[in-house]
Amino acid sequence: MNQSTSLQKYLLGAACAGLLAGAWGIIEALLHGTAGTGLGSYVPWGLGVVLYLTFLGFSAAGLMLALVTTVFGRHEYEELAGLAAWTVVVTEACAGLAIATDLGHWERMYRFIVSPSFTSPMAWMFVFFTAMFIIYALKVLALLKGDSARAHRLTIVSIPVAFLFYGTNGYIFGTLVHHPVWGGPVVPVLFVAAALMAGGALLCFLAWAFGHRAALVTGLGKAVLGMLVLFAVTEALLVLTGYQAGDADTVAALDAVLGGGSGVIFWVLHVGVGIIVPLVLLTRGNAASTAWGCLALVLAFGAARWSFVIAPQFIPPLHGLDQAFVHHRLALSYSPSLGEWLATLFVASLGLLGFVLGPRVVPGLFREGEDNA
Amino acid sequence: MSTILPVEDPLVTMQRDLKRTLEGKGGPIAWVMVIDQAKCIGCHACTVACASENALPPGVVYRPVIEEEKGTYPNVSRRFLPRPCMQCQKPPCVPVCPVSATWKDDAGVVVIDYNKCIGCRFCLKACPYGARTSDFGEAYTDGTPDQEGRLLGRKAAAAGYAERTAPEYDKEWGARGRRSPVGNARKCHFCLHRVQAGMLPSCVTSCVGRATFFGNANDPQALVRKLTGSPRVMRLKEHLGTEPHVYYLT
């Protein structure tokens, strides 16, 4: 218990330090919009979008648990309901902060309400994002009040909303049919699989970290393993069909993803740490290995998002366009600025703070198990 | 015995066409642009004229000229592809905007409401021609002594070029700082502010090779109407179904 308390203190200290150090990144984004970023017009989506999509994936912890308990009838996992609901609220808050500060004019976000265009997948993303946050905030309240019937109803409602939410985020990319790698119907499926994988992994690790029963951890680990395999196969299909079809831009974009500087991120962080290490650890079958495998997956999930979002933008929409008018904002490359890294540190620290303070702020959601307590 | 027939400058012809349309005699307005690649000499005058007319900041370009080199020495050829906004009939950039900040106006030009745009840059990714750029707030006076030394809210337009602001969409947008169009998506709009005042777009008037034509596609007498009927006509990425309103004569 003492070890646990001192670890919590270290984590709390790390989270506070991260918030302090990263605050300038958020302040700069709030004051100057995208001016301080390393973004350009040909690579306009960068670390902010990667960060948003990463935390978005983590928020699928709620969907994973809802499927396990409601669709597959494994009611013993209900004891993770509070943890999962808190995870959704915390990670959605982080995702929302990441994407809001990535806008050129964050102060106009009210426009999503006063002049929405429902032909845009992004408008639907806003709708489902908000719906998910409200549903899980209400579920947190219901669980704290002990109203299990209401919590169950909210869980049922959350399932289709969550599928629409994660699918819509993939749909944003999938509808860009002219864009190499992004366009196509497999992308929304990839996003749902990725979200369930990452969200499930985070929930599994947290279940172990907060001392829930080993059987729950290993059982959840099997579900994560299944989603990991589905994700890896879907991603492999995306790459293989792209190469086999032979479209020049798609091949060039895939080369950019798999080679060069981005290749290190793809092969070492994404495939190595994010797929192979979890595959090995998750198949061992014990709770500790499962938890560490899930942690590896969680930590490397950002690399999966980076590989998907960044490198495919390095292909010009018209060949020679990047040479027609030379400026660093019109380049086919991207390196995040210090401000973007600091904002990332802030958002990640906010997430960490949420899980460190969670047991103190809302202890009713964090029922400890017997094995590790 | 050959005689040199007097040929009217296309600018005069197009100016007359424009006047006729603005007087309501050219039929419903559907502005189109025609670019003759055989006449384009790659001087980039249109790019510069556009940047000057619209007071474009660094990193924002509405009409770059792409240079294509084909073949290997000694059998080499070059051609130039000016690339304004295609003003597509079915613009992919419009339906993706989540806040209704961009639309196709009655004259067929895709326009942006800078005061609605949230700067999500979805439209930049949706345009298959890379015709939209984001204004990241830079100014040509950045780095000059007058601009340095302020941590917050530094004065963005102190002198010179930056004092001249964008006249787009019939509005003076004020000094560059944090306000729009900084933080917005920006694009070629066929110089609507000039056209509505009876002037041709700046890229048209500045073209030394007379390679760029502009007018109302619905006017049967218009020069562009004749040119778009040429067998040399092609449009970029037609397979996408965007139906660009910019035609190229190859």
The three-state (H, E, C) secondary structure of B30-69, written as one string = CEEEEEECCCCCCCCHHHHHHHHHCCCCCCCCCCCEEEEE
Is A44 touching B (CB cutoff 8 A)?
A: yes
pLDDT of residue B247: 98
pLDDT of residue A370: 43
Instruction: Give B179's DSSP letter.
Output: S
Mean predicted confidence (pLDDT) in A256-269? 94
Q: Which residues have C-beta within 8 Å of that of residue B151, sequence separation ≥ 6?
A: none
pLDDT band at A61 (very low <50, low <70, confident <90, very high): very high
Mean predicted confidence (pLDDT) in B88-93? 97
Q: What is the pLDDT of residues A93-151, one digit of tens each?
A: 999 999 999 999 999 999 999 999 999 999 999 999 999 999 999 999 999 999 999 99
Instruction: List, as ranges, residues 155-184 from A with C-beta within 8 Å of B.
Output: 172, 175-179
With beta carbons less than 8 A apart as the criterion, state whether B245 and B87 touch: yes
Mean predicted confidence (pLDDT) in A262-271? 96
Is A42 touching B (CB cutoff 8 A)?
A: yes
pLDDT band at A1 (very low <50, low <70, confident <90, very high): very low
Question: Is B240 among the domain residues?
Answer: yes
Q: What is the pLDDT of residues B20-68, one digit of tens each?
A: 999 999 889 999 999 999 999 999 999 999 999 999 999 999 999 999 9
Residue in A30, A111, A337 to test binding to B, most B beta-carbons within 10 Å: A111
CB contact under 8 A, A178 and B92: yes
Structural domains in chain A, CATH included, are: 12-365 (1.20.1630.10)
pLDDT of residue A205: 97
CB contact under 8 A, B68 and A320: yes
Question: Is B214 among the domain residues?
Answer: yes
pLDDT of residue A373: 34
The residue of chain A with its CA nearest to that of B114 is A105
Query: Which residues in B175-202 are b (16+ Cβ under 10 Å) and which e?
Result: ebebbbbbbbbbbbbbbbbbbeeeebbb
- Token couple for A314: 């390095």
State which residues form the domain around B209: 10-249
Q: Looking at per-residue confidence, does B195 or B145 come out higher?
A: B195
Residue in B99, B127, B140, B236 to test binding to A, most A beta-carbons within 10 Å: B99
Mean predicted confidence (pLDDT) in A14-35? 96
Q: Report the distance separating Cα A289 and Cα A274, nearest Å.
A: 14
Among A120, A126, A324, select the one facing B65 at the smallest CB separation.
A324
pLDDT band at B157 (very low <50, low <70, confident <90, very high): very low
Is A31 touching B (CB cutoff 8 A)?
A: yes
Question: Is B2 among the domain residues?
Answer: no
With beta carbons less than 8 A apart as the criterion, state whether B119 and A103 touch: yes
Among B128, B178, B236, select the one facing A33 at the smallest CB separation.
B178
pLDDT of residue A368: 55
Give yes or no for residue A80 having a pLDDT over 90: yes
Question: Is B3 among the domain residues?
Answer: no
Q: How far is A178 from chain B (nearest CA, A)?
A: 6
Q: Which residues have C-beta within 8 Å of that of residue A123, sequence separation ≥ 6?
A: A112, A116, A117, B98, B99
pLDDT of residue A285: 85
pLDDT of residue A372: 39
Question: Is B95 among the domain residues?
Answer: yes
Chain B positions touching A339 (Cβ under 8 A) are none
The enclosing domain of B166 has a CATH number of 3.30.70.20
Helices within chain B (DSSP H only)? 10-22, 45-53, 122-126, 192-195, 202-205, 223-227
The mean predicted confidence, pLDDT, of chain A is 95
Report CA Rg, chain B.
Answer: 19
Question: Is B162 among the domain residues?
Answer: yes
Give yes or no for residue A179 having a pLDDT over 70: yes
How many domains are there within chain B? 1
Q: Report the distance separating Cα A35 and Cα A104, nearest Å.
A: 8
Q: Report the distance separating Cα A194 and Cα A126, nearest Å.
A: 20
Question: Is B5 among the domain residues?
Answer: no
Q: Looking at per-residue confidence, does A367 or B151 come out higher?
A: A367
Q: Which residue, among B209, B152, B160, B144, has the nearest Cα to B177 in the 3D structure? A: B152
Distances (CA, A) of A119 to A116, A172, A281, A311, B97: 9, 11, 43, 27, 8
CB contact under 8 A, B182 and A317: no
Q: How far is B23 from chain A (nearest CA, A)?
A: 34
pLDDT of residue B174: 74
pLDDT of residue B1: 53
Question: Is B91 among the domain residues?
Answer: yes
Give yes or no for residue A74 having a pLDDT over 80: yes
Among B67, B98, B133, select the one facing A112 at the smallest CB separation.
B98
Q: How far is A362 from chain B (nearest CA, A)?
A: 35
Mean predicted confidence (pLDDT) in B188-214? 97
CB contact under 8 A, B134 and A112: no
- Token couple for A195: 């979200």
Mean predicted confidence (pLDDT) in B164-183? 81
